Structure 1
């Protein structure tokens, strides 16, 4: 065999090995993150192999532990018998901390919680034309951005004759939204609007899946290493009884106080979808108002999004639904959506609510 043929042979062999390793690494990353693919959409990780090696290096040589986020003052979360937890009224600074190359840096964001537990969205009129209730998780709440950067604040600015109420909080799901709607049921009129956030990762929250508890355990260990979990911390859970009726209850949030549940088998995807669909139908039955389902992350063929109730309208707002890059983060300090993401959500909602 000539040297040219040998070189070509080894080049081809090397290419095949590299391709195989890349495919195996991509498969590993998919299996590892398949439940949260939507939240990571729009972020290029480069070579899957390099990403796997980076993760392996982080496991073998972890950074010194440090608190990655603090809320000033303490006491932001308080217990709630129905929701599991809620936000305590007051003005807070959410400080996001990062250490790189031995140097520490941080950014501060202002978070204001009103007496009714909602986040500040601006000044609403005394007699609004309609009420707009925005519900969801930390992305909807606006973790990582200031009060005046959330898409709810931008909505209040654009629709100055309406009143925008931001009923959202980190870790919340449709189960929390249902509790909120039941509390507000007598105040919501048929001409009002509900904006309900949704992402594929909500589903494990709806049922408080064991994987959800484990992710909280791991997140606490890496982000709040000096915080002792409390036995009083609880998660809201939706489930179906023997007659397939929707039931809400709360369970201990931390694996330390719920070890058997934390180690139990995961519910099937079909069951989680069934509970999620039951939740959405219960939400639609609870209110006379139109419900706009803001689909932020996740696949288009999600079974939960099929056959929506008649009073629920889907708003496609995943990164794939925009013609430009809009999935920014909090300057690399946090994984939540930054100002560009919030502006994109605002523009999509503004188009719909303007003709409502």
Structure 2
């Protein structure tokens, strides 16, 4: 009788756990918090300009990067409150995903926050995720220059120094590394470490279970935040190395010179967006490069150091509150920039 009672209790325990996990699985699927199937961002298209490789699709309103992305007929991301007056002075804000506003709403991007501070101007969001300066140069020539901006704000992030060929747009809408082929895509990416690494059937769960995918994302988020904390602390050590090379700076200087040669006397502002490192050796050199090309330079390290708050689930791109603080810090320099336009 005792063995039978034990077996019944064990069976009830497993049945309860099964119902619990099944209920959580159903709840996650119904609410749409996590999708088992990949959800590529449907915001890109192949560009007719081979220098770009890809560009934002024009006239869309799509979910991407946990937010909504809206673009105008030119293929620039738009924002609520954008000045509709096409005769107003346009200020181009050029850059990559930091300018574009990865993971934040249309109204939370840096150009949108600057628009709030200076509503009589038109701040054009000329940011595209993954672009580097050669692509930004081509994008400016193709899409932005025809809009006749009166000034330019170029937002720099240190991965802009790691130049490579334009990314490849696959058939599902994902950006891939140059040279990528479908055969390189793994069937699954299960958790291999910790307790979850011992679960049998991990690959099957990764392809079919929303609960498992949610747990995997939570673990990755926690680990990412911990790694970021450690890397920031190590960067503040007296013997921390700056990974930027002279070759990278020299190449970027040549790229920036080629770009600014097309700008004439257009008023321009160069914004250095901070990452997890301090770049104590390369930042002064970068400022010299920008100033030699006619830019006023604003270094956001002066506001944030290497502690700029990021998205919880990304650890690279800025939190909406960080963007608000950055816009406020930039305000005096932008006012000077606007005065140079005759404001």
TM-score, shorter chain, exceeding 0.5: yes
Q: 1:348 aligns with which of 329, 334, 337?
A: 329
For the residues of structure 2 that align with 1:338 and 1:301, how far apart are their CA atoms?
27
Residue 286 of structure 1 aligns to a residue whose secondary structure is coil
Determine if contact 1:85/1:233 at 8 Å carries over to the other structure.
Answer: no
Residue 315 of structure 1 aligns to a residue whose secondary structure is strand
Instruction: Tell me the CA shift for residue 272 of structure 1.
Output: 2.6
Instruction: Give the match for residue 94 of structure 2.
Output: 135
Bigger Rg, structure 1 or 2 = 2
RMSD: 3.5
Q: Map Cα deviations across residues 110-158 of structure 1 (whole Å, 9 max, x no partner).
A: 2111111111133314254421101111111111111111121111122
Residue 161 of structure 1 aligns to a residue whose secondary structure is coil
Instruction: Report which of the two has the higher share of strand.
Output: 1
For the residues of structure 2 that align with 1:69 and 1:294, how far apart are their CA atoms?
35
Q: Map Cα deviations across residues 323-349 of structure 1 (whole Å, 9 max, x no partner).
A: 699622223356421111111221122
Instruction: Tell me the CA shift for residue 280 of structure 1.
Output: 0.9
For the residues of structure 1 that align with 2:323 and 2:255, how far apart are their CA atoms?
26
Q: 1:157 to 1:229 in 2, by over 3 A?
A: same
Task: Say yes or no: does 1:304 pair with 2:264.
Answer: no
Determine if contact 1:229/1:254 at 8 Å carries over to the other structure.
Answer: no
Determine if contact 1:194/1:291 at 8 Å carries over to the other structure.
Answer: yes
Determine if contact 2:89/2:121 at 8 Å carries over to the other structure.
Answer: yes
TM-score after normalising by structure 1: 0.57
Instruction: Report which of the two has the higher share of helix.
Output: 2
Instruction: Tell me the CA shift for residue 172 of structure 1.
Output: 0.9
Instruction: Give the match for residue 148 of structure 2.
Output: 188
Is there any run of 5+ residues in structure 2 with no aligned partner, and where? 1-34, 185-243, 338-343
Instruction: Give the match for residue 303 of structure 2.
Output: 322
TM-score after normalising by structure 2: 0.59
Instruction: Give the match for residue 74 of structure 2.
Output: 116
Q: 2:62 aligns with which of 69, 72, 92?
A: 92
Q: Map Cα deviations across residues 26-81 of structure 1 (whole Å, 9 max, x no partner).
A: xxxxxxxxxxxxxxxxxxxxxxxxxxxxxxxxxxxxxxxx879735xx63111013
What is the number of residues matched between the two proteins? 233
Q: 1:294 to 1:230 in 2, by over 3 A?
A: same
Q: Map Cα deviations across residues 179-233 of structure 1 (whole Å, 9 max, x no partner).
A: 12222435436xx1111111221111x344xxx98xx9xxxxxxxxxxx955998
Is there any run of 5+ residues in structure 1 with no aligned partner, and where? 1-65, 96-107, 217-227, 236-251, 260-267
Instruction: Give the match for residue 46 of structure 1.
Output: none
Determine if contact 2:83/2:122 at 8 Å carries over to the other structure.
Answer: yes
Instruction: Tell me the CA shift for residue 257 of structure 1.
Output: 8.3
For the residues of structure 1 that align with 2:306 and 2:252, how far apart are their CA atoms?
30
- State how 1:47-62 maps to structure 2 within 5 Å: none
For the residues of structure 2 that align with 1:144 and 1:338, how far apart are their CA atoms?
8
Q: 1:334 to 1:304 in 2, by over 3 A?
A: closer
Q: Map Cα deviations across residues 85-108 of structure 1 (whole Å, 9 max, x no partner).
A: 11113001125xxxxxxxxxxxx4
Q: 1:354 to 1:69 in 2, by over 3 A?
A: farther
Q: 1:229 to 1:125 in 2, by over 3 A?
A: closer
Determine if contact 1:293/1:315 at 8 Å carries over to the other structure.
Answer: yes
Instruction: Give the match for residue 283 of structure 1.
Output: 259
Q: 2:181 aligns with which of 211, 235, 256?
A: 256
Determine if contact 2:257/2:293 at 8 Å carries over to the other structure.
Answer: no
For the residues of structure 1 that align with 2:246 and 2:44, how far apart are their CA atoms?
33
Residue 306 of structure 1 aligns to a residue whose secondary structure is helix
Task: Say yes or no: does 1:164 pair with 2:123.
Answer: yes
Q: 1:69 to 1:123 in 2, by over 3 A?
A: farther
Instruction: Tell me the CA shift for residue 350 of structure 1.
Output: 1.5
